[in-house]
């Protein structure tokens, strides 16, 4: 059974803290993605990666960075969390060069106070 | 960026009723995906469509890839309480490998 896991379901941080969100997939997928989901705005792509050590900016990369040191793991980093980064964060993965289908993790609901 | 218009935004229906929702755009798509998201969970893929005019079913769910390649439709027949959730369309733009997501249709089913 395909699986994407995220390190935390709920997270509460303070403004200015450095925040790490971890995502791990066990499907040997090349592609991994980070989205944020806000009411009325749908899913917006923050960063994605097509290979280890490779990263590409999505539509809203400001205030975020990512790290992909291993194929199965993709980390999203908030260098200095701000209240407008309170959101649901979703990680997804997919095969490269084949189907576009993305498989999602359960999400991390981050609250920045 | 590109936009996918998904409608309706929300639906409140009685158990047993059929449901229809759609996604439209001014852009052409190669692939359409339909996801369901339960409260507090990540989206789960329901149906994938790869060809204009394609009609695909998954149990009580049926989705269609529009002939113009600019829209897609999802129907749920004989709704049940566990159909509650948010349904998202996602389209792969022509000549890209980028997925664009609709804003979702929130479905409530009353017994």
Cβ atoms within 10 A of the Cβ of A79, count? 11
A66 vs A68: CA distance, rounded Å: 7
Question: Residue B69 and residue B50: Cα distance in Å, rounded?
Answer: 10
Q: Which of A41, A45, A109 sits opposite B103 (nearest CB)?
A: A41
Cα–Cα–Cα angle for B28, A46, A100, rounded to 5 degrees = 40
- pLDDT, averaged per 10 consecutive residues of chain B (111 residues), comes to 84 96 94 94 95 96 96 97 95 85 94 88
For position B2, what pLDDT does the model report? 64
Q: What does DSSP assign to residue B17? A: -
Q: What is the pLDDT of residue A42?
A: 84
Alpha-carbon gap: A106 to the closest alpha carbon of chain B (Å): 4
Query: How far is the alpha carbon of B32 from chain A, nearest alpha carbon, in Å?
Result: 9
Read off the pLDDT of residues A16-29 as tens digits, 9 standing for 90 and up.
Answer: 999 999 999 999 99
DSSP-derived letter for residue B4 is: -
Q: Three-class SS of residue B82?
A: helix
B105-110 and A65-70 strand pairing? unpaired
Q: B98 to chain A: which residues are within 8 Å by CB?
A: 45
> pLDDT, tens digit, for every residue of A81-99?
999 999 999 999 998 876 6
């Amino acid at each position: 059974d395909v699986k994407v896991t995220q390190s935390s379901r709920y997270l509460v941080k303070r403004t200015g803290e450095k925040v790490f969100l971890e995502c791990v997939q066990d499907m040997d997928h090349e592609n991994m993605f980070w989205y944020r989901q806000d009411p009325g705005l749908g899913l917006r792509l923050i960063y994605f990666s097509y290979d280890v050590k490779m990263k590409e900016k999505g539509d809203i990369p400001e205030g975020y960075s990512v790290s992909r040191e291993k194929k199965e793991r993709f980390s999203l980093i908030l260098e200095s969390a701000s209240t407008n980064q309170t959101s649901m964060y979703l990680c997804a993965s997919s095969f490269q060069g084949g189907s576009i289908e993305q498989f999602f993790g359960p999400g991390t609901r981050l609250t920045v106070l | 960026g590109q936009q996918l218009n998904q409608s309706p935004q929300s639906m409140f229906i009685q158990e047993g009723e059929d449901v229809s929702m759609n996604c439209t755009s001014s852009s052409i798509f190669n692939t359409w995906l339909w996801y369901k998201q339960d409260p507090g969970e990540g989206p789960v893929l329901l149906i994938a469509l790869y060809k204009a005019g394609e009609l695909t079913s998954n149990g009580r769910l049926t989705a269609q890839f529009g002939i113009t390649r600019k829209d897609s439709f999802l129907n749920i027949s004989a709704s049940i309480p566990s159909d509650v959730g948010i349904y998202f369309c996602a389209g792969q733009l022509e000549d890209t490998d980028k997925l664009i997501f609709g804003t979702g249709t929130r479905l409530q089913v009353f017994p």
